[in-house]
Amino acid sequence: MPDDILPHRRAGAGFPLVLVHGYLGGSEQWEAEIGHFSDRFDVIAPDLPGFGAAADLPALHRIGDMADAVIALLDQLGIKRFVLLGHSMGGMIVQDMAAKLGDRISRLILYGTGPLGLMPDRFEPIELSQNRLCQDGVAKTARRIGATWFCKGEQAPGFALVAKIGALAHNQAALAGLEAMTHWDGRDALNSLTTPVLVIWGDSDKSYRWPQVEMLWKTIPKANLSVMPAAAHAAHLEKPDLFHSILDDFLAN
């Protein structure tokens, strides 16, 4: 295996299922999904450069470069065709991958994400997040932002994991991720995404509001929509059984 291969978690056997985390995330956040799907799928969860187990790698400043890093990993692993899921910023990355790879992707899952990186009506403007990150550092920022990803904030069972993973990120990667989102706009590519698509959204998500989600659903030709009630941005950690059931249904049909 090449020495420069992107850090990742891999388990199971079968058709490949690739899970791409978002901003201040990491492959560790998919532990429950790896456990649930590895009896049927070859589950691969990369850590993006500068985040999680890849915190020592140079930061990437554009969504397209992050997409290329994941594609390079899959090519190194010999993965030709696969199911692809992206969460949050990872949802932008997988949209970029889908536009580049076409029918190499058999099914696409866009979870807690949207087609515009600036995220209109986000809980706070990205510029404010950048300023607060410079003032507070990564660990404090991961806790502050991570609390908005749950309906119960810091009291949510999944919050400690989110804070732990977020604190692993390199400061430059955290800044670069925010910069990458501000420069990314995937709206023009939505009509070209011809693979079956599932859009998953928690109805209390404070990062990606309904207009972003609605645009994905109504513009992508073969898009289906699943709204998770009383769930926020980290819905897979808030309601894992429901999240898995939604994915099971989509992947079985």
Q: With contact defined as beta carbons under 8 Å apart, do 169 and 204 qualify? A: no
d(CA 143, CA 123): 15
Task: Report the top-level CATH class of 8-252.
Answer: alpha beta
Q: What is the pLDDT of residues 23-76, one digit of tens each?
A: 999 999 999 999 999 999 999 999 999 999 999 999 999 999 999 999 999 999
Q: Measured at the alpha carbon of residue 248, what is the angle toward residues 188 and 48, in degrees to the nearest 5?
A: 50
Q: What is the pLDDT of residues 161-170, one digit of tens each?
A: 999 999 999 9
Q: Measured at the alpha carbon of residue 206, what is the angle toward residues 204 and 207, in degrees to the nearest 5?
A: 130
d(CA 216, CA 198): 10
Q: State the angle between helix axes of 138-147 and 159-167 in degrees (0 to 180), rounded to the nearest 10.
A: 150
Give the dihedral of Cα atoms 56, 62, 64, 69; nearest 10 deg.
Answer: -10
